[in-house]
Amino acid sequence: MNATRGFLVAALLAVPLVSCSEPNVPPGFIDACYGGREHEARNWVMSEARMLLTVDGKEKDWPLLASIVKDAGERQHLKVFDTSTNIPNYIRMLRVNVCDASGINLDIDKRVYLDPRANRGGPPPDDRIVTTLRTWRRDVDWKPLAEAIQLGFRLSWPGKFDVQFPPLNEATLPHMALPDNVRAELETECRAATDPKPYYCGP
């Protein structure tokens, strides 16, 4: 289990916890998008990337992109949160989440760091803007939202867009879900664990 634990620790260190990255967290955001504060880190790390939709866009396109994502969420009667922000001399960020406590989290996330030191060693900025659909429960029906967001882009986005479904190369998506073998080891450990179980095992 040493390799598994090492992978989990590394993944947890990469979790963009909402409380750190968004200064104004709307009511209900963490419950709908991450399953509650207690399970926030686990549900991010244990999530599965179901679909990636990528466009090339500039900051002037952010309002249109936000509206496409919001409209898809509203049409599916899901929770919609716009946590886009502008912190002078630090960051400008497009961030819209469409979530449901059943285990769905779709987000469009693009950040422009005004202070290069704030990029935390990430890749250099480019024009790619990615909308990612993740699930953190296996039995959730995510396909209607996937279809809705693709339809929204077909109807409203003036340029091309690329849609990919896993499996993907891990380098393509920094926050990939755990590999199947690691997930299986963790699930075995959690089934065998006695109370109090490790926090990542959930309730």
27-58 pLDDT per residue, tens: 999 999 998 888 887 787 778 889 999 999 99
Predicted pLDDT of residue 11: 42
Answer yes or no: are the C-beta atoms of 108 and 66 closer than 8 Å: yes
With pLDDT > 90 as the criterion, what percentage of the chain qualifies? 48
Closest by CA to 148, choosing from 56, 58, 97, 75, is 75
Predicted pLDDT of residue 167: 67
For the residues 2-29, what does the mean pLDDT come to?
A: 52
User: Is the pLDDT at 73 greater than 90, yes or no?
Assistant: yes
For the residues 104-122, what does the mean pLDDT come to?
A: 82
Q: Which run of H or of E encompasses 99?
A: strand 91-100
Predicted pLDDT of residue 38: 81
**Rounded CA separation 113/95 (Å):** 14
- Domain limits, the chain: 2-166
The mean pLDDT value of the chain amounts to: 79
Kindly report whether the peptide bond that precedes residue 167 is cis, defined as omega within 30 degrees of 0: yes
Answer yes or no: are the C-beta atoms of 149 and 131 closer than 8 Å: yes
Q: Across the chain, how many H-helices and E-strands are there? A: 7, 7
CATH architecture assigned to 2-166: 2-Layer Sandwich (3.30)
Rg for the chain (alpha carbons), in Å? Answer: 17
Residue 132 has φ and ψ, to the nearest 5°, of -115, 130
Q: How far is CA 84 from CA 91, 112, 147, 190, in A?
A: 10, 11, 24, 36
